[in-house]
Amino acid sequence: MAQWQELLQMESALQNQVSQLYVGKFPREIRHHLSVWIESQDWHSAAADENMARLCFQTLLLNLEEQRTQCIHNNSILLGPDYSAMKDYLVKHFEDQPLTMAVILSECLNEEKRILTSSSEAQQINSSVTTDQSQRDLDNKVKGLREQTWEAEREIKSLEVLNEQLEFIQKNWENQVEQLNGLSHEMVQRECVRQANFIIQTKQMVLGKIANILNLAGLIVQTLTVVELPEWKRRQQLACLGSPSNTCLDHLQTCFTAVAEILQQIRQQLKKLKEQNDNYNINHNSNLADVMAQIDTFAVSLFKQLFENALVVEKQPVMSSLTQRPLVLKTGVRFTVTVRFLANLPELKCHLKVKPVFDKDIEEVKTIKGFRQFVFTKDDSKVLDVSTPGGGLVAEFGHMSLKESKARTKGSNESPLVVTEELHIIKFVTDCQYAGLECKMETSSLPVVVVSATSQVPSAWASIMWFSMLSTSEPRNLSLFVDPPPLLWQQLSQVLSWQFLSAGHRELGEDQLSMLRDKIVDDPDGLVYWNKFSKNDGMWTWIDGILDLIKRHLKDFWKDGFIMGFVSKAKTQLLLKNKQTGNFLIRFSESYREGAITFSWVEHTNGETIVHAVEPYTKKELSAESLPDIIDHFSLRKTTNNPLVYLYPDIPRDSAFGRYYTTSGMSPKNKDGYWHRKRVNVIDCTTPPPSPPPKEGNMDIEMDPSQVKHSIEDTMKELFPGLQDYSGSHLPWKTYEDALLSQSCYVDSSISK
């Protein structure tokens, strides 16, 4: 509903407040009869721009003239308002001072909004709309804009017919004197003048409608470039962190394309009107030519604003070996990135060549000592082409890679940043020449971190997460880690939860986040500081080890909810003490820096309740045997029974893990008469000795054999992403791993029975 219509429904006391706003400032009758048009204008911008204010003033006069002409056609001059008097008032008071009128209307409209807001809390509810509703509203505005544009097109065609008729009469009336007795030169001249005046009035009406269309288009362009596009960019930034955000560009592309087509059509309409002026000998009002020129200038400015924002990075830089951690790039390793032009006009296909430039025009290269510099290994310019099912103008850079052009001096401590805190950007630039419009367009990737070793990836990803939660708009502060601000726990907890969603398709629950908060946050205001989180073997090293454990060995069990995860020892005691004997839960170890998992179970003996725990299983053990098989074969040396009976809260062990067992209930002997064997996890004591403290020192620690294997696999995948399997027996680690497994303890399956 229009703002004025809402004001008319308020109680009389509030309506009187609105009426007082216009006394001695601006005719309230104009506000009433042109309410829709007035509310569609950007008076705030016009109040700061004299050219825009003058255009709005001229368009207002045209609107009044249009209303007056409509009254003449309807024979209702005496019934309607006095539009001529309104026009005279405006010319007298604002023709030389259009800025004054713009300021008055800007202030009055703002005050109207304040009155509306104070009159009802419903206004506040309506101001907070969902994304779907905002998209529907935007679609309706674009649809209405298109309908108005076609209506103007029809009227311009009618003007063409009127001009042709007038020209024909002027050239051929003498030949018809014999057929039309009494036809005199004066009568024909008088009729031609009347017809010419009608054409001029009609043209004024059409120009008024075109100006109105452009003003509405300007509001839509403003919404697209200032609201919708930044919101999409923020959703994309969060999606890079693992947020389940909608990053589809189809709706934005539809709106950008529709507005571009409408602006293109408007410019064609103005061209037709100018051609009519040039082709037909009519004494036109010279003011119309000036108005047309102003309108065309405004249309070009909207076109430029739309195009300059239409180039976007659809898919951020990502290496094929780190799909869940985009924006972390390694020198010499291929990565991909996709660019899209949202104004999908057929004329632009294969006419826009996009060039990537690394760290283009960023001050950090000059201001931060030791800031590394990189270049692309080859010129990888691409032409925007239609290569998607939706028909978007897309360029996919599929084989990009970086090399250092100016590296730091080894051993230098000049730079305030470690390499994993350096933020860089990739810009994509192109020139556009279209329909007389020339503009340079560019867009930027989100900040990236460039590493030279796989071991630096976790720290680099921590920097990406930290930066992304703090930097929500452009331009980006690439020197943020010179003095990194703290994060609120609410921000950090959200992004940590997304990491588990990405790694194992399940977010962290409130209880797990509460346990993490107790370990991470020691600030009364709930702030988390960068040094505590990421530096010097901080909490992130432990959490990232657990994420890697889930991704490699525990994804299905984590997703199914069988792993409770982050549970303190005290909470474990509390949860299990009232459960029946054999009830167990699975949690992450708090003391293994590289990530480990353990399980605790309860036993009630002689009126005493004891909660036992097993020494945590690391990636090395889980590489040799899956967690379900470990649980299935687990036993104590003092008994042959498996103490793990019910998964917390009361799920039978086999119901939870049965489908994941790799061994089944087979016959005791095989066809050769041999007993089958299976590995059984046997422990001597019911509680493990205290875990050793985390190792201090450098992040580059010695890896266990399974980690070496994964590191080699990762490197091979980075270099040859098309290859899928590196576990062949001819590789050196296979023999070494088999040797390790051969030393494991096996017992007869009959014993485990």
DSSP letter string, 73-133: HTT-TTTS--HHHHHHHHHHHHSS-HHHHHHHHHHHHHHHHHHHHHH-THHHHHHS--HHH
Which of these, 574, 605, 554, lies nearest to 511 by C-alpha position?
Answer: 574
Beta bridge pairs of residue 601: 584, 612
Is the separation of the CB atoms in 428 and 311 below 8 Å? yes
Q: Is 672 helix (H, G, I), strand (E, B) or coil?
A: coil
pLDDT score for 546: 92
> Strands 646-647, 583-588: parallel, antiparallel or unpaired by DSSP?
parallel
What pLDDT was estimated at residue 715? 56
731: CB partners within 8 A, 6+ apart: 712
- Which two three-digit tokens encode residue 739? 């040797």
Q: Which residues of the chain have pLDDT under 70?
A: 1-2, 79, 120-132, 169-185, 188, 280-286, 387-390, 406-414, 637-640, 663-753
Among 153, 72, 65, 61, CA closest to 98: 61
pLDDT (0 to 100) of residue 276: 76
Looking at residue 20, its pLDDT comes to 85
pLDDT at 587: 92
pTM of model > 0.85: no
Token pair 């940590």 in the structure block, residue: 496
Residue 286, pLDDT score: 59
Give me the domains of the chain, ranges plus CATH numbers: 3-237 (1.10.532.10), 310-405+414-485 (2.60.40.630), 552-752 (3.30.505.10)
- What pLDDT does 568 receive? 87
- Which strands, in side-by-side order, build the sheet including 353-358? 382-383, 353-358, 426-434, 437-444
CA neighbor of 337 nearest in space, from 354, 359, 361: 354
Report d(CA 503, CA 548) in Å as an integer: 8
Query: SS3 for 12-67, per residue?
Result: HHHHHHHHHHHCCCCCHHHHHHCHHHHHHCCHHHHCCCHHHHHHHHHHHHHHHHHH
Model pLDDT, residue 634: 85
Other Cβ atoms within 10 Å of 79 Cβ, number: 8
Question: Is residue 651 helix, strand or coil?
Answer: strand
Residues 6+ apart with CB under 8 A from 415: 368, 369, 370, 371, 408
Burial class (CB in 10 A: 0-12, 13-18, 19+), 23: exposed
